[in-house]
Structure 1
């Protein structure tokens, strides 16, 4: 009876909490921008470049990460912020409360003592304790002097520079972007939205953080989502596909709406390629994808399991005219629950660069066959059922 009451409370709490959030959220639609965008697909290269840009900051550093780890890279990152604050640069660090739970209070106190403003977002709150414990701010934003921006899938921790305590999850494969140009101001705006939610301090009217920006060469659009929007948007692009759809994701748990769109695309003769990790980093997420893979494989989809470490990329390419990169996974948690931030890119040259990286991923993968999934054990089938029942929370 106690277990039943607990489950009932969790279900009611989750539904009421999500409904309230959807009613009170703000929807932001940014315009098409032009920026110079560099793709970074290796953690060591990303942090070398990002830390160099932070070292060269002159006026402001705004950083939001889902996860900052309690390890040497996390300490190096925080020490760098400390030094810039001591130099007079305005530094703000925003972290997801649950994702960065292991950051020591001593480190936070150290940062605050030299003038770094530190805040946590998506705190667990009464009365919807279960819902707020599950909804995460999954965004990763870095804005330096209002002129250089970073967005993508990497968090801050040693596993992201290929020093994982679990050898089977190393090296870490992900994508991040460095932006210079008009789009940086939209990244700054998104940081300010989350900062205001967490601190009640409004930074949007401070000219220091929104300097004039030059027009770059790549057409793109910053696309924030908060539990809605992205499912419909992805569905529209899948519906428009004529030749090929490529999806890279660590967790493939589509909604019924998106699954129908993918099946219809296959019926139209569109090629579908999906890249997922062979080795899962969380329980049940691998098995959760199997019920979706079976009908897709039956219609000719190609599913590749990445073997060279852990695949954490979040990417969708439709034909040669649209590429989505950012923080959202192709799963129900990203579509219905988390706060995410993606970059929609409409530049053929940049898309060709991304596709070359995708080709490397496919070469480092094993292709999954329909027979592979028909011969799984009874225990795997059981895990599939459990995963399906709690798919939005995986």
Structure 2
């Protein structure tokens, strides 16, 4: 009886996921900018980022719009909430959108106090009928903040103690996060308001107060939001453009077969491929899920670096020192097929040189992953690789 029930549950999961994804693909549309101009700064350390971010939040005069995937229940999260409540009480319009499952630790009492202070709060990606399993897997992984319509933040950091190096089990957190000013902040605002309309049910896109007249900055770039299957094609296009070098930085390396084939083809045509991943994993099976792909790439000539000076959570691609991609998307199937993400493609030589120096420093703080290590007999690791291959979509 139990085996029959399990069989029907599995069948239900499969059909729920298949039909849910089909429906999602039928309604999704592409939203990306042409080449636009802004001014950029980049943060690689959480304490410096949050010192700057909290200062800008406290300096807000009109409105604060924030979207995070993860907000925890700890000291820095409380500080973040307190700033938002203080600004709301002072008359600043504050909206906060967080992912339902990513921010599961945020308690109802905390939400109530935010709302009582005047913060407009909503969850993104609630589990809903008719596709319960599929909707439970679709996460809003974007991290966007817009302050007074003039300052934007985008990148890999969430809100929690691990992101400011206060979780001993993780150590120093290495990530890349952009601070953006100039006319292109308007698009980040548009993206936030689009998500807010979808999840909070409030359509305020037409309010001109959210879109001040800003000057162009110096850095050529474009923003590319993705969901459903869009990111896969974007990555394929970037990889196929590479002629000399390609650097990938990601905490989770679990590509689809099309992406793996494109990387192998790049190596075959002489592209120097380097991949930076963490030395230690922060989630079960994600590292073992990467090993089969990394093994094939190392065999074909790729260099893989395992970052040892803490946990590596950055999300970036650097192609031929001509294009860099920094954003919220990991180099894995979950980001390619399930998550809502937003990335920034940057074409400015000076900024690219700055990022390249960061990447070179991160590779210096890493150890090479070799075939000798990957092929050393290890029954436990082999078992985990098998399990990871079965659930690679959901790692």
Tell me if both proteins adopt one fold, taking TM over 0.5 as the criterion: yes
- Equivalent residue of 1:216, what SS? coil
Supply the distance in 1 between the matched residues of 2:168 and 2:10 (Cα, whole angstroms). Answer: 34
Question: How far is the alpha carbon of 1:390 from its aligned partner?
Answer: 1.1
Question: How far is the alpha carbon of 1:30 from its aligned partner?
Answer: 1.5
Question: How far is the alpha carbon of 1:320 from its aligned partner?
Answer: 1.0
| Residue matched to 2:147 | 144
> Residue 9 of structure 1: which of 5, 9, 12 is its match?
12
2:38 touches 2:220 (CA, 8 Å); kept in 1? Answer: yes
Question: How far is the alpha carbon of 1:233 from its aligned partner?
Answer: 1.6
Q: Deviations over 1:30-72 (max 9, x none)?
A: 1211000001100001100011001110100000000110001
> Residue 19 of structure 1: which of 16, 19, 22 is its match?
22
In the TM superposition, 1:177-256 aligns within 5 A as 177-256=178-257
In the TM superposition, 1:26-105 aligns within 5 A as 26-105=29-108
In the TM superposition, 1:244-283 aligns within 5 A as 244-283=245-284
Q: Deviations over 1:143-164 (max 9, x none)?
A: 0000000000000001100001
Question: How far is the alpha carbon of 1:25 from its aligned partner?
Answer: 2.2
Question: How far is the alpha carbon of 1:308 from its aligned partner?
Answer: 1.1
Question: How far is the alpha carbon of 1:97 from its aligned partner?
Answer: 0.4
Is the aligned partner of 1:304 residue 2:305?
yes
| Residue matched to 1:124 | 127
TM-score with structure 2 setting the length: 0.98
Supply the distance in 2 between the matched residues of 1:206 and 1:98 (Cα, whole angstroms). Answer: 30
Supply the distance in 1 between the matched residues of 2:27 and 2:271 (Cα, whole angstroms). Answer: 39
Question: How far is the alpha carbon of 1:165 from its aligned partner?
Answer: 4.5
> Residue 134 of structure 1: which of 117, 124, 137 is its match?
137
Supply the distance in 2 between the matched residues of 1:6 and 1:281 (Cα, whole angstroms). Answer: 29
2:32 touches 2:222 (CA, 8 Å); kept in 1? Answer: no
| Residue matched to 1:340 | 341
Supply the distance in 2 between the matched residues of 1:19 and 1:376 (Cα, whole angstroms). Answer: 41
2:66 touches 2:95 (CA, 8 Å); kept in 1? Answer: yes
Question: How far is the alpha carbon of 1:9 from its aligned partner?
Answer: 1.4
| Residue matched to 1:174 | 175
2:328 touches 2:342 (CA, 8 Å); kept in 1? Answer: yes
| Residue matched to 1:157 | 160
- Equivalent residue of 2:42, what SS? strand
Q: Deviations over 1:319-370 (max 9, x none)?
A: 1110000000000000001000101101111011111111111111110111
Supply the distance in 1 between the matched residues of 2:227 and 2:72 (Cα, whole angstroms). Answer: 24
Supply the distance in 2 between the matched residues of 1:70 and 1:201 (Cα, whole angstroms). Answer: 27
Q: Deviations over 1:254-310 (max 9, x none)?
A: 111111111011011110000000110111100111111111111110000111111
Supply the distance in 2 between the matched residues of 1:83 and 1:36 (Cα, whole angstroms). Answer: 29
2:28 touches 2:228 (CA, 8 Å); kept in 1? Answer: no
Which stretch of structure 1 is more off in the superposition, 322-331 or 374-383? 374-383
Structure 2 runs not aligned, ≥5 long: none
Supply the distance in 1 between the matched residues of 2:266 and 2:44 (Cα, whole angstroms). Answer: 29
Supply the distance in 2 between the matched residues of 1:23 and 1:165 (Cα, whole angstroms). Answer: 44
Supply the distance in 1 between the matched residues of 2:362 and 2:313 (Cα, whole angstroms). Answer: 11
Supply the distance in 1 between the matched residues of 2:314 and 2:247 (Cα, whole angstroms). Answer: 12
Supply the distance in 1 between the matched residues of 2:177 and 2:338 (Cα, whole angstroms). Answer: 22
Structure 1 runs not aligned, ≥5 long: none
Q: Deviations over 1:66-110 (max 9, x none)?
A: 011000100000000000011110000000000111112111111
Supply the distance in 1 between the matched residues of 2:238 and 2:159 (Cα, whole angstroms). Answer: 32
